[in-house]
Amino acid sequence: MSWVDGLGYVAALFVFATYSMKTMIPLRILGIGSNIFFIAYGYFGSLYPNLILHMVLLPLNGLRLYQMVRLVQQVKDASRGNLSMDWLKSFMTKRSCRAGEVIFQKGDLSSAMFYTVTGGYRLNEIGVDVAPGHLVGEIGFIAPDNKRTLTFECVEDGDLLTIGYSQVKQLYFQNPKFGFYFLQLISQRLFKDIERLEQRLTAPDQIGEVVVERLR
């Protein structure tokens, strides 16, 4: 066996290892390794179709690896306190809305999340206005019955970005770190909602105490 054949066997081992991977980042790394060895094998062995194929696959694997690592890092940063969902925009599709349009109603089966880009929106049951730059509908992703708990209505013409739960699940299963940090991010948002609710519940008592004190 020549050293050129050895390159081919090493490249084949990389391919075998690639197919045994369960997560995307190690898979891409091994894929890049197999591309490099196949390029060397194709060049020195004068196997030009093989050479061209892996010269095309190498930058593609490199790009996908970069995108996944960047996505994980952005979600990790968000889970540490920055609740901006800008990192998810590249995976979302645009949707235009008109004033008076109900995007989803309380009790509906939820299947997607929305990011407000322009326009004005309202969560009707609690009377909260939603300005541009906010994510709505992410709780349905982890809710046991996947039912909407509020009605989301457009009150001023604008644009939304939307992503289906099926695509979020694909990202989740492609990389466990993404799933962990995404759930951690949602947990932070839930705790903030609970904190706001507690503040609203205690506010009337505080006002009452002030009134009583002044009456005395």
Buried b (16+ CB within 10 A) or exposed e, 158-173: bebbbbebebbeebbe
pLDDT in tens, 181-216: 677 777 777 787 777 777 777 765 554 543 334 334
Q: Facing residues of 122 across strands?
A: 129, 153
Of 185 and 5, the structure prediction assigns the larger pLDDT to 5
- Token pair for 77: 């940063």
Least confident span in 35-39, 51-55, 89-93, 183-187: 183-187
The whole-angstrom separation of Cα 9 and Cα 14 is 9
HEC-encoded secondary structure of 63-117:
HHHHHHHHHHHHHHHHHCCCCCCHHHHHHCEEEEECCCCEEECCCCECCEEEEEC
Place of tokens 């050479």: 51
Of 68 and 97, the structure prediction assigns the larger pLDDT to 97
The whole-angstrom separation of Cα 24 and Cα 30 is 10
* 24-44 helix and 3-20 helix, angle to the nearest 10 degrees: 160
* 24-44 helix and 48-79 helix, angle to the nearest 10 degrees: 160
pLDDT higher than 50, residue 50: yes
pLDDT in tens, 82-134: 555 666 777 899 999 999 999 999 889 888 989 999 999 999 988 889 999 88
N- to C-terminal Cα distance for the chain? 100
Q: What is the pTM of this model?
A: 0.53
